[in-house]
Structure 1
Amino acid sequence: MICRKINQGKLRNSFRQSICRWFQSSVAPVAAPMTPVSTVSSSGKKIQSQLHFFGNYTTPFCSFKSNVSFPLRGCSFSTQAALDLSTGGVIDVPLAQTGEGIAECELLKWFVHEGDQVEEFQPLCEVQSDKATIEITSRYKGKISQILHVPGNIVKVGETLLKIAVDDIPEPAETSDASEKMTSLDSDFIGSSDISSVPEKSKIDGVSSTPAVRNLAKQYGLDINDVPGTGKDGRILKEDVTNYAMQKGLINEALECAQQKHSEVSSLIGGGYEDKTLQLRGYQRAMVKSMTLAAKIPHFYFIEEMNCDALVELKKSFQNENSDLEIKHTFLPVLIKSLSMALTTHPMLNSCFSEESYEVILKGSHNIGIAMATPNGLVVPNIKNVQSLSILEITKELSRLQKLAKINKLTPDDISGSTITLSNIGGIGGKFGSPLINSPEVAIIGFGRIQKIAQFAEDGDVYPASVMTINIGADHRVLDGATVARFCNDWKKFVEKPDLLLLHTR
């Protein structure tokens, strides 16, 4: 059914096509899409009109065109989550679109049960797409009437997750697409002063944040005024609350996940010789899809050794001069920055390939993905615009991503958009690995731990050196061995002589 939205304007007269709420005649015309309507007003005048729905039947706006001038109020309509009066005020809550190109999500867990009372913006469940883990919150105040899915189910976008018996008739929020259509249709008729919209954010005690962020702070028992905001104009973001909760030691989800994984493995080890089945969930299920796709790419590998003596000394100097106890300097940020410097002169490795159009898109930004092993599986967040960041800024961003990955709180933006990937197996063990490309990227780089091994000088003397082995996996449809070798030579130069980074940094 069609529900009235809250975009009311002041009375206007119009002969033009307009978004309308009601008519000051005795009968308001109602019709199917694109159907002409004739009705008679209280004065006896015949009214020729037409009701037209924009786009498909899911588009929440319609227009009315008439040969008669009506005093009317500007208003829009929405079909989103309409109240079903026939079922006693029960609303179907569908899985909303969680990101571009996302058609389905896996339901990970419920935060509510049937019969529970819920408030607006209260978390209902957690879902996992190919890109991120997302909390679904309630838009209504009411009682959980029915839960239609169990954890582990794959739910398609638009499919009903649960039913809520609402206390009051809801007024659905305006969608951005529909809002744009309304504005372009009758921007002169409905001005900015005529529309009262739901604010994006609100302020409590001078603190700018959304209701969902305040609710998250409440869950952790935090005062929202104590959380430092990093958003525009000091706005408090969800990540700010999560990071502050971690600093206070309030988040132990990573420990719980690790204990659960350990318990599952222990039960397998101590379970004798009986077969047991483990259900792949979350990131592990997403990895099945991505690795199946990666297996279709024709890989070739280029292996090289890098002398890291200067890199080791640089890391020591960074740490010796470090006055911030929250920052821990490692080799990885320097490797990331030096990689970006090499990509500047070898843009083919910072590209993606389209099989449909046989096109290679050279990416302008260096969004370098970092493969991370977490209690929930392998995930690859990325650091955006590395070419514009300092080593210190990269260090801080890497630390942020690592913390969020451990507690399964990475956002879709953190995970999407990478242009090339690094896989550091050295932190766990091994000299090098042969990673698979993260499609649609065309290259991935794996490197192992730095080892002290014997090297020969030009005069024949033997000396100890810190050596790291790297393995570059490349898409042979786009790259050839010579291109990868030249790129590796330039990257190796920056790693072995990191002072050159100062010479080329913009």
Structure 2
Amino acid sequence: MTEHVIKLPDVGEGVAEAELVEWHVKVGDLIREDAIIGAVMTDKATVEIPSPVDGEVLWLGASVGDVVAVGSDLVRLSIAGTGESKAADTEKASGETLAAARQEVSPPATITEPSVTAAPAAPAASVAPADKRSSAESAPRTPLSGAPRGEGERPLASPAVRLRAREAGVDLRQVAGTGPAGRISHEDLDAVFAQGPALARAPGRQKRTGVDEIKIVGLRRRISEKMSLASSRIPHITYVEEVDVTAVEDLRSTLNAGRRQDQPKLSFLPFLIRAMTRAIDDQPNLNAHFDDEAGIIQQHAGVHVGIAAQTPSGLMVPVVKHAEGLDLWGTAAELTRLAEAAKAGTATRDDLTGSTITITSLGAMGGIVTTPIINHPEVAIVGVNKMMVRPVWDGSTFVPRKIMNLSSSFDHRVIDGWDAAVFIQRIKALLETPALIFIES
């Protein structure tokens, strides 16, 4: 027996370090070659680390949430034989695997394009087989029998598994996991559903006294850091305006009814993006980045609209590039492409970076007013609130109209309140008389 060290390889993008966001193994586990031992994150890309050899885990070099330098010892394994020749061959293969590793991107769930859900990472078993799927299906399942965990003990499961259980009304504390350290997988949930989800629900009303301590890691930590930066460095001014979207909604319905089969279904977002690009033509200072350390405003010619979207993993901002060059159908097609790329896990780094102005929406849960935080270093963000039918006085009687608020924030260091109001009033005029969107000035 000999010891083999797995180091953190170069995960690409020119980075020197990465954050460890998940272990799939623990000390004492027996693992197979190519089994996933863990995952690291750089910016918005999550990369899985495979084992280049068979072996037993002797030591783990970091905890979840730690930032690890490229080339640092990550895992030590006990392997049969000298392992020297095989290690040399497999180190190169491991690097090639990582270079080709796909980004794990969660979907923009709140945009009104097709909803998507990121595929959950497959947890490694204590003895990771080459065919994980067939092994999971053949492994014996432990049926539910009371509570397999003590009071206050947090079930171990991925965010995707937790979301699926929550939507099904399943109490994960009552589910026996078959993965390492009792980790609950999608297959464990399938076994519960086969017995009836009611079996996993906590009986009656019970006191809950446990306290969960959740370490902020991965994407959630990056969101936290970026929001703190934006809030601490940008003096926000938020402007709220009511918009009558009856006409644009009628136009949207008409266009959808007559669309070709090769054309995507129109949501409200393409109309808003087109209105924003027209308004930016009049006020290009809104389509900018502010380098506050250098005291320079970078005013962009291209309009790259970020769509802030909540996902099970956290906030993502897919970007519609060069919106000024897209018509209504082209904008809708690009939104659809971004949604489908996220669903397939093929969204690139370019798809998720480079926005110059952002739209944020909570969809039907958007409330009547929000106070959006600007996506630093941008200078403006347009917030979409929920649409409601309200009685509106037309001079002689009340008529039902579809009303929606826009809650938008601006960097008050470089954008005056007057300019913010002019910008939103221009968008309002375009949406309330949507024919103006299509008239070239």
> What TM-score range do you get, normalising by the shorter chain?
0.5 to 0.7
Cα 1:326/1:266, change in 2 over 3 Å: farther
- Say yes or no: does 1:468 pair with 2:428: no
1:44-97 deviation digits (Å, cap 9, x = unpaired):
xxxxxxxxxxxxxxxxxxxxxxxxxxxxxxxxxxxxxxxxxxx96845422535
Partner Cα separation in structure 2 for residue 403 and residue 270 of structure 1: 42
- Name the structure 1 match of 2:418: 482
After TM superposition, give the deviation of residue 359 of structure 1 in Å.
0.7
Residue in structure 2 matching 1:258, options 146, 163, 176: 163
Partner Cα separation in structure 2 for residue 260 and residue 433 of structure 1: 30
- Name the structure 1 match of 2:47: 134
Q: What letter is aligned with 1:420?
A: I
Cα 1:447/1:137, change in 2 over 3 Å: same
- Name the structure 2 match of 1:285: 221
- Name the structure 1 match of 2:154: none
* Contact 1:426 1:448 (C-alpha < 8 Å) held by counterparts: yes
Partner Cα separation in structure 2 for residue 364 and residue 100 of structure 1: 28
- Name the structure 1 match of 2:31: 116
After TM superposition, give the deviation of residue 442 of structure 1 in Å.
1.1
Cα 1:147/1:99, change in 2 over 3 Å: farther
Residue in structure 2 matching 1:378, options 293, 303, 315: 315
Greater fraction of residues in helix? 2
Q: What letter is aligned with 1:259?
A: R
Cα 1:480/1:102, change in 2 over 3 Å: farther
After TM superposition, give the deviation of residue 118 of structure 1 in Å.
2.3
Equivalent residue of 2:439, what SS? helix
Determine which structure has more spread, i.e. the larger CA radius of gyration. Answer: 1
Residue in structure 2 matching 1:412, options 330, 338, 349: 349
Residue in structure 1 matching 2:75, options 138, 152, 162: 162
In structure 1, stretches of 5+ residues that fail to align are 1-86, 174-197, 201-209, 217-236, 240-245
Please report the TM-score for the alignment, with normalisation by the length of structure 1: 0.59
After TM superposition, give the deviation of residue 480 of structure 1 in Å.
0.7
1:266-319 deviation digits (Å, cap 9, x = unpaired):
869965244332333433222211111122111111111112112111221232
Partner Cα separation in structure 2 for residue 421 and residue 479 of structure 1: 15
Partner Cα separation in structure 1 for residue 15 and residue 291 of structure 2: 16
After TM superposition, give the deviation of residue 128 of structure 1 in Å.
2.8
Q: What letter is aligned with 1:169?
A: A
Equivalent residue of 1:319, what SS? helix
- Say yes or no: does 1:275 pair with 2:238: no
Residue in structure 1 matching 2:65, options 145, 148, 153: 153
Please report the TM-score for the alignment, with normalisation by the length of structure 2: 0.67
- Name the structure 1 match of 2:145: none
Q: What letter is aligned with 1:284?
A: R
Cα 1:238/1:110, change in 2 over 3 Å: closer
- Name the structure 2 match of 1:452: 389
Equivalent residue of 1:295, what SS? helix
Residue in structure 1 matching 2:8, options 83, 94, 102: 94
In structure 2, stretches of 5+ residues that fail to align are 78-82, 106-113, 122-158, 174-201
* Contact 1:447 1:469 (C-alpha < 8 Å) held by counterparts: yes
- Say yes or no: does 1:331 pair with 2:331: no
Query: What are the equivalent positions in structure 2 for 1:11-30 lying under 5 Å apart?
Result: none
- Name the structure 2 match of 1:306: 243
After TM superposition, give the deviation of residue 365 of structure 1 in Å.
2.3
Q: What letter is aligned with 2:88?
A: I
Q: Note the aligned Cα RMSD (angstroms).
A: 4.1
- Name the structure 1 match of 2:368: 431
1:385-430 deviation digits (Å, cap 9, x = unpaired):
2222233333233234335556876543232212111111233241
After TM superposition, give the deviation of residue 111 of structure 1 in Å.
7.6
Residue in structure 1 matching 2:434, options 498, 501, 504: 498
Cα 1:425/1:172, change in 2 over 3 Å: closer
1:174-224 deviation digits (Å, cap 9, x = unpaired):
xxxxxxxxxxxxxxxxxxxxxxxx9x9xxxxxxxxx9987x98xxxxxxxx
Partner Cα separation in structure 1 for residue 277 and residue 307 of structure 2: 13
* Contact 2:45 2:104 (C-alpha < 8 Å) held by counterparts: no
- Name the structure 1 match of 2:302: 365
Equivalent residue of 1:490, what SS? helix
Partner Cα separation in structure 1 for residue 348 and residue 286 of structure 2: 26
Residue in structure 2 matching 1:356, options 279, 293, 309: 293
Cα 1:317/1:134, change in 2 over 3 Å: farther
- Name the structure 1 match of 2:183: none
Partner Cα separation in structure 2 for residue 124 and residue 359 of structure 1: 45
* Contact 1:90 1:145 (C-alpha < 8 Å) held by counterparts: no
1:93-142 deviation digits (Å, cap 9, x = unpaired):
225355467754232343898543325xx75532233433333456x566
Partner Cα separation in structure 1 for residue 16 and residue 277 of structure 2: 30
Cα 1:320/1:455, change in 2 over 3 Å: same
Aligned length: 353
Query: What are the equivalent positions in structure 2 for 1:47-66 lying under 5 Å apart?
Result: none
Greater relative contact order: 1 or 2 (C-alpha under 8 angstroms, separation 6 or more)? Answer: 2
After TM superposition, give the deviation of residue 497 of structure 1 in Å.
2.2
Q: What letter is aligned with 2:65?
A: N
Partner Cα separation in structure 2 for residue 412 and residue 250 of structure 1: 16
* Contact 2:62 2:74 (C-alpha < 8 Å) held by counterparts: no
Partner Cα separation in structure 1 for residue 207 and residue 162 of structure 2: 21
- Say yes or no: does 1:320 pair with 2:233: no
After TM superposition, give the deviation of residue 381 of structure 1 in Å.
2.1
Partner Cα separation in structure 2 for residue 123 and residue 389 of structure 1: 41
Equivalent residue of 1:478, what SS? coil
